[in-house]
Structure 1
Amino acid sequence: QAPWSLLLPSLMRTRAPTPSYSNDNPPEFDSPAYFTPVTKSVKVGTRLIRVVVEYLITGGNSSSKFKLDKTSGWITVASSLTADMNKIFLIDITASDRGNPPLSARTSVRIAVTEENHHTPEFSQSQISATVPESLAVGTAIRTLSARDKDKEMNGLITYNITSGNDKGLFALNSKTGVLSLAQPLDFEEKQQHELRVSATDGGWIAKTSYVSVTVHVTDVNDNPPVFDPDEYFPVVQENVPSGTTVVKMNAVDRDSGANAVMAYVIQSSDSDLFVINPNTGQIYVTGTLDREKEEKISLKVLAKNTGSIRGADIDEVFVNITILDANDPPVFTQELYDVQVSEGLSPGGLVTFVSAEDSDSVPSWSRFSYSIAPEFDKNVFTINPKTGQVSVAAELDRETTPVYNLTVLAVDTGTPPATGSTTVIVNLEDINDNGPTLTTAYAEVMENQRAGTAVTTLTASDPDLPPNQGPFLYSLLNSGSANSYFSLSPAGVLTTSREIDREQISDFYLSVVIKDSGVPQMSSTGTIHIKINDQNDNPSEPRSMEIYGCQRMPFQPLQEWGAVPELPRRLQLPLQIRLCRYYF
């Protein structure tokens, strides 16, 4: 088959024979009529349509433009169609079987002669995106995809199709209008983005196709209730825990996202009023004093409710079965929080604060305890006396590196097992003036030949200390080097010229600047600023000279004239040197 041949499906089907010796079933066509386009420049002999039984052309082919091969079933071009542009040939075909008596069926084939299909359909964009909510109703139009084909008539008719990305059939595309619509419900929790590839195919005999990528973004709607995991809780708590101790943190998951996943926790029923729940975090904590001898097990029914608008059930429930254990009471600190301030200049060994705890256990081994700093604080900056609770400095402090230390101090008794109480010690470092300022202006430029007092730049500096140990800063030039005679610097940092500067003599200056802060004691430092002198066209060009040299070789002839030297233009204004020579033979 030639590459330009058009192979269509079988034009007919034959009924299954009945158990009879008579021929009572004629051939049957799949369609009462068939159609194929063909370009006017198609080569003679090109196959158009194939049939699979014995056919005859019985009408519509008076010009003998086409012929039918009875054996192979192909309709082919019999003569040139160049002059038949835009014509439509209607050919009648009869299919006959070989029964006794022979039976037949008829159909027609329309062949339209068209122009060459020169152009491919074109989308205006190579990438198209649309955003829809997951609750979008099936059948709703999402986007209209449009392509243009510069061909006319049938060659310009476009058919749209989704070629990939629609494996689950979520989307439908109108093949004629290009309207993309929803065919099945979306689920944001399953997939948030769908990548489709859409084709646009024209109606040419040899069809041409272009493609566009379509991205459908799915946004979330509140369509999922909270779900607890696990579906039942069995926490344990010691009877001597202080009020506010967290017993368990509930965990409910909402498959929605963002605001649609926000939920609230609530205790619907309880055997005790000693437990409350944080509605936002789901943490259940103690609000009073527990007594295992009175209540050993307490059951709570906890709900997780979706706070948004949702259709149908928006809650889940779970039982929390709390077991209260009898245990050694830990030491209790006299303060839950110690917030102290010390100078960053405090030397190692200096006192930071005292912490104090009490243990009311009646058993002696349970009431003795020692202090320590929690092991997670491993910087070894502070130490604590295990008996007295004195917190001291163990290393050099630097507020500019670490301004605040958050220590967890423990009191561990000698019970079996040991009970531990804790408190928080926040150490805030107070600033001292221990850092000199740093010059941040390192470069400036000024034009040469400027009069004295011309502004060059205003210097700036930084200081890691806190006010009042920072600015305002005082600036001055270090009294060294000849460069100082060219510039003046005010205490506020305004740098100006002191005299006119000739770049051809000095093109760069490096000034040493002293900066002082406002702290007590006052700190200072030295920085360097590079001043570049920019050039002006203030020097004439250097003088130049011209030399003319000529030489002549000739027989000796006394008193012979050499020739005339041409007059030079006056505009040259150059020193002129002329050298002449002559050789005789």
Structure 2
Amino acid sequence: MEFSWGSGQESRRLLLSLLFLAAWKAGSGHVRYSIPEEAKHGTFVGRIAQDLGLEVVELVPRLFQVASRGREDLLEVNLQNGILFVNSRIDREELCGRNAECSIHLEVIVDRPLQVFHVEVEVKDINDNPPVFPGTQKNLFMAESRPLDSQFPLEGASDADIGANALLTYTLSPNEYFSLENPSNDKRVKRLGLVLRKPLDREEAPEIFLVLTATDGGKPELTGTVQLLVKVLDANDNAPAFDRTLYKVKLPENVPNGTLVIKLNASDLDEGSNGDIIYSFSTDILPNVKSKFYIDGITGEIMVKGYIDFEESKSYEILVEGIDKGQPPLSGHCTVMVEIEDTNDNVPVMEFKSLSLPIREDAPLGTVIALISVSDLDSSINGQVSCTLSPHVPFKLVSTFKNYYSLVLDSALDRESVANYELVVTARDGGSPSLSATASVSVDVADVNDNAPTFAQPEYTVFVKENNPPGCHIFTVSARDADAQENALVSYSLVERRVGERALSSYVSVHAESGKVYALQPLDHEELELLQFQVSARDAGVPPLGSNVTLQVFVLDENDNAPALLPPPPGPGGGAGAVSQLVARSVGAGHVVAKVRAVDADSGYNAWLSYELQAAAGAARSPFRVGLYTGEISTTRALDEADAPRQRLLVLVKDHGEPALTATATVLLSLEDSGQAPKASSRASTGAAGAEAAVVDVNVYLIVAICAVSSLFVLTLLLYTALRCSAPPSEGACGPGKPRLVCSSAVGSWSSLQQRQQRVCSAEGPLKTDLMAFSPSQPQGPISTDTVSLKNFTAIFVRPLILDV
């Protein structure tokens, strides 16, 4: 859209129509205004915000900014009302020289979202420059012998304005000798001259004064004048003549000094010194021509002596005079038009107008990262620039406007794979050979919380000795988060649940930062054999992500329970005190007369009991003995009358822990003659025989049961070991001492222990009763806190089966 300034009713109508056109084109992204040069400061140019479709209240929040090519202070925008106004003096001639079109190009950039608008403000020419001649006076030498209609070229005036304001007309002061020659139609060459209308007579008029006036076409008109002094000479009546009045030459830019432009040739019909010609530039030639070229006065060769730049000037007009050596000298004139040809000598220029960095790794495709402006001072194909991007990166360049490229996201980003991209943008023109420029851009990828903390394995097995000190460190969990900064800051917590009647947090705790797991109270193997729970790892992202790991804490047994004596069964000789039994004197050797029963709350080797008969001090050798592992008291020989009628036996019950714990049982035996208590003896014998038979039968069933359960458990442990063999060893358990396996005697036996039910805290399942089995000749050895062998698992985790004989 375009707004022009004028005067009068016609100008107002034109302004209204152009304003309507501006409103219609406001959404196009390209707005055009026009203002006259020399407009005063504050002159209204246009409502730029309204014409670009922007709200005035958006200008400041969206970082509205205006950039212009060249001078930055000519125009300004009032951010309060969105009006573009003149900020400083605008001189069209200073800004654009004699170019037909003169515009100030503005680039309006707003963010959120990023938009770029092109605004062109055309500067209209006003008639503020009068025509100017090269000098105030010019001397012309003319022979009196010159024929009528002879032409004498004149250098015209120049007007810095353009168009009608620079359209000059010439008038000559009234005289009887000369008239003006009509200008040529070739606008590049101002053919102005005097035409002789009356023969000259030096004796009558040796000097003629004329005034040449140039008037431009502006309103109001401006004029310029030059005084012409015509001196009439005698004699030499043939002037030098060039082959042509206009020569056209094409010259590439950047040619070295001394390059030949053209060799001129003029001829003079006179002879002698009157025909010798000296070549020179006209005194009216422009200074920039003199600085670029020089002419050899003898040969007429015009050569380059300065830097020829197409971007500085596209053509040069050289006025040449050929003057003979006659008296008076005569001259001929010609014009050399030198057109400069462009070469590809300017490297493209890149400028980053806007950068939006860093870019989030979850940014959508098509997100604009940067806006790049490219330009080339060359013309035509030499100034056509294309941009490429390297290396292969998830970005691409999109041509958005003329000479603008947008750097946009082309594929998904992952900061954990690549956190930074070094991009190289290459701008290359279309010249041959082409010139290029490169710019590097470092694009950082901002992290988002898209990775949850992960543990090295989903489950850990930990072994802790019972009776650990409160607050003991039992394990450390560690999770890794691939994100960065707060998104990778991991904190740990327990996944709370119930363990029986109590909360999990009453047993263990986890440090939120280090992941160290602590036992808050002493653990009791007899109360809790396995504590299974989960630890949660959460990062500090928004929203937070997390994962869980399972810990299986096995509580290893220590010998902290002494053997406990069981009360004898109800019946004759039974009671709550010592074991009391009637024994007939007629029983033979090996007869079982009583049995001591005891149980140990510990497990494994710590619960394996042995029995010893303590001899009383000063007493004779006792006719009784006790089974090492059965607790059965039997005779070692036949009883006789010499044996005391009341026998008091002390049985020491001892477990195999380190150190061993003991208990003492007292057995009272009353010896009776066979005649006094034949029935009792018979009953005792029968009872003993029945007991022995029951022991034999139960031993058979027990051995079968142990073998079956052991086989099933071995298969289960083999599968468990195969699944866990690759797991790293867990941290050591707390507490002193080493648990040991329970071993059998040399002959192989089993211990009768109390049947107990143990709660295993691995899930909310039913209570489990385990079996402790002992095999003959099983070697003793320590239990590792990290790995447990198959035999060790058999010895530790199989609970005792109680046999009541």
Shorter-chain TM-score above 0.5: no
CA radius of gyration, larger in: 2
More strand by share: 1
More helix by share: 2
